[in-house]
A and B are shown apart, each in its own frame.
Chain A
Amino acid sequence: MSDTFSYLLMAWLDPGLLGLTALGVLAGIYIGAIPGLSVTMAVSILISFTFAWDINNALALMVGIYVGGVYGGSRTAILLNIPGAPSAVTTAFDGYPLAQKGEAGRAIGLSTVMSVIGGLIGVAVLAGTAPHLADLALQFAPRDYFLIAILGLLLVSSLSGKSLARGIFSVALGATIGLVGMDMVTAQPRLTLGSMELLGGIHYVVVMIGLFGVAEAFYQLHNMAKVPVKQKVDKIIPPLNMVLKFLPLSIRTSIIGVVVGALPGTGGDIASLFAYDHAKRTVKNPSTPFGEGAYEGLVAPETANNAAVGGAYVPMLTLGMPGDAVTAVIIGALVIHGLNPGPMLMIETPHIFWFTVGNLALANIFLLVFGLTGIRIFSKIVEVPKAIMIPLILVLCVVGTYSLNSNMMEVYWMLGFGILGYWLKVFGFQMGPIILGVILGPLLDESYRQAMSSVGDRGGDFLLALVANPLSLVLTTVIALVLLGNTPLKGWLVGRFQRN
């Protein structure tokens, strides 16, 4: 026990590790804030860089970057309506309207505190239940991922804004974009128009930067003359009663985040979408309507995506299986450092587990410190004249896209999606459902085909499997209830019932 305790506090007591964690968090916030610069990329560069280092030092830096990076995506989402990472897409829905009302400082302050709460809940779940949660995650069969993807598609009703028809069209468009590339099963090109460059598909971050970054920059040209709102910078740190008011919601969305994060097939991006939807369904009286600057719409995704970090470490530390792309790279780092990530990791090198838990908690404390400092200066970004800001955004979009895979072709695609996104915006389409489609399309395709081939391509057996297994039955029931609640079917059924 005393060993566990000393491992837990290792990062807190060693000045070197403390410094590296702090450095990682700070760097992560900025890496996360720039669309295209991803945590996955930063961590894989660090592998070569930290090759000769002690493993603990390397891990401390990576943990810091991971925690800071997931949070950093919210900065640009709030200030510029440009999410720095896919997991911050929903943060922009209510964060940007808040900034437009002069509450950018408050929004960043609140998102920081809530990210830390989400992050710490994620760490607590990791520390307390990791082996059990990992076993639960393994229970998810391909058919369950299929059901999760279906459930995800139903989020369209929360993300579409005023026109559901436009929302459904956007999801379908997104899913089609997501299917471009080599077919996973047959290795045949799909929707590539014979282009070799398209064999690898269109990276969803490319779509995201185009639709949110470039399209937003173009759209801003419509109101060049509009004087930016003067930002209120006096009340940045949210008062305690506000934090307490949102605590029940943040606990619920953190649980969503940590569970979705622990599933090896899903991560923080899907978690934040589910959390936003959950907030919209359960909070009856938000501070202002959702989509117009509701604090609840900010709290939900920010707690969920940071809680997903703790979740992603669950299968990694207990089984040696990655929970997401970042933990996949960290597993690689462990291998290169001569450790054996696998089910024996916790038994043979328990200090890695407890060190990571303690380090994650520490990184969240640093997140609170760094997140709450410098907000005044950041809020001023909203006040920068458009003539300076728009060109800057465009440059950042190009740099961010190129740095993704050092591929010029992706920059052209990104610009193309920017122009498409601009026209879609002009005609009242929302960008959120397109990203939803891009993320869920491939998951739906993959899991459906896996589930079908598992039962020998027999449709009847496939449908039976969706209700014959306890876990699948729960998911199927949830889908049925959501469908009932969201369609005229409910009114019709209730009507019939009353007539009888």
Chain B
Amino acid sequence: MFKPLLTGLAVAAGTLALTGNALAEYPERNIQGTIQWGAGGATDNVVRSLTPHVEEILGTTIVLTNRPGGTGVIGMNHVMRQRPDGYNLLFGAENPQLYPLMGLADFTYDDMHAVNIIGQGLVVIATHPDSPFDTFAELLEYANENPGELRMGGTGAGGLPSTIHAMINAVGELDVRTVTFGGDGPGVTALLGEHIDFMPLSLSAVAEQIRGGRLKGLAVLNSEELEELPGVPPITEALPDIESFLPWGPFWGVFVHQDTPDDIKTILEDAYQQAVASDGFQEFLENFGGTTLNLSGDAAQQYLDNWQSVTAWSMYEAEAVETSPEELGIPRP
């Protein structure tokens, strides 16, 4: 606990002696990190694995606090209201890009500065081993013959399954009953107990269940088969048109207040770039079922814009939302 503090002091003293620039002292105290999702979730796991690497580089302690609730609105709102001095970081997932569309809040990540888009999760549509379906194509065929009969696990409007459902409906048709759970965990539990028939889930939530034979994959949301899940066909085999939305996945990122001084933004961007690329974190992310993005600056902004436009328009085309993305100034992909 004291070691990073001492190193921090040493680094601070060193830079002070070299440059004499007041701003170069950053960070001179602990940084507050707000995680917009609860303890033990995917975002929480990613952030808590990454943070020790960043602390080592910055030579300070990052105090992490979970502020879950309202699909992340509460955590993000909190960080946006703090002083723009670079001592308050937001760790978030993809959801804020859809806030205005869902009518949850009038801000998105455009109202903050992206320090780093860490990585992206892979998505797999899973079912229980006793299910009569072996591929997503078989499930689609059955659903078309028996509309409104299969039970799909969901996590509520704006959640990952609802977005995937919207994408499928934008290019095809899937009429099912949606059973809503509080998150991936309760959904997977219901799937294990065969209380639902299938559920689109992030790979990190189901990889172990599939490997252990407790669940089986019907399709991966990708245009090719994944190395991590041999034998699970890409979704494009069942729905070739969905290719236009790919690659798509939930992502995790680090953000600061828009008005943070540029020097500090640069220090943070460099630190996170290094930390995400570190061997230790790379090993974790691979094991966790995610892919590295490590984007900052313009590349990060471009990624965020593209993600927002693809997702918002597919949801609108599938009539999952009433507000037109056009009214919110989100261009067509």
Contact = CB atoms under 8 A, between A and B. Distances in A.
B52 A454 contact: no
Interface string A343-355: 1110100000000
B291 interface: no
A342 B209 contact: yes
A496 to B, nearest CB: 40
A338 interface: yes
A189 to B, nearest CB: 8
B64 interface: yes
If over half of B's interface residues share one DSSP class (helix, strand or loop), that class is named, otherwise mixed; here it is mixed
A44 interface: yes
B288 to A, nearest CB: 7
A405 interface: yes
A56 interface: no
Interface residues of A, number: 60
| Chain B CB within 10 A, most for which of A325, A328, A330, A331 | A328
Interface string A181-221: 11111111000000011011100000000000000000000
A456 interface: yes
A343 B209 contact: yes
A44 B52 contact: no
A335 B69 contact: no
A330 B45 CA distance: 11
Interface string B181-200: 11001101110110110000
A454 B211 contact: no
A23 interface: no
A405 B67 CA distance: 6
Contact of A138 (B179, B189, B211): B189
Contacts of A182: 69-71, 104
Interface string A76-109: 0000000000000000000000000000000000
B156 A196 contact: no
18 contacts: A44-B39, A44-B40, A44-B48, A48-B51, A51-B49, A141-B195, A199-B73, A200-B68, A315-B189, A325-B39, A328-B40, A328-B185, A335-B45, A336-B48, A338-B287, A342-B208, A343-B212, A450-B180
Please name the 3 residue pairs, one residue from A and one from B, whose CB atoms are nearest each other, closest first: A200-B69, A342-B208, A199-B70
Given A196-B77, A319-B189, 9 more contacts: A40-B39, A142-B195, A182-B104, A187-B104, A188-B157, A199-B74, A336-B45, A342-B208, A456-B148
Interface of B: 1, 38-41, 44-45, 48-49, 51-52, 64-71, 73-74, 77-78, 102-105, 148-149, 151, 156-158, 177-182, 185-186, 188-190, 192-193, 195-196, 207-209, 211-214, 283-284, 287-288
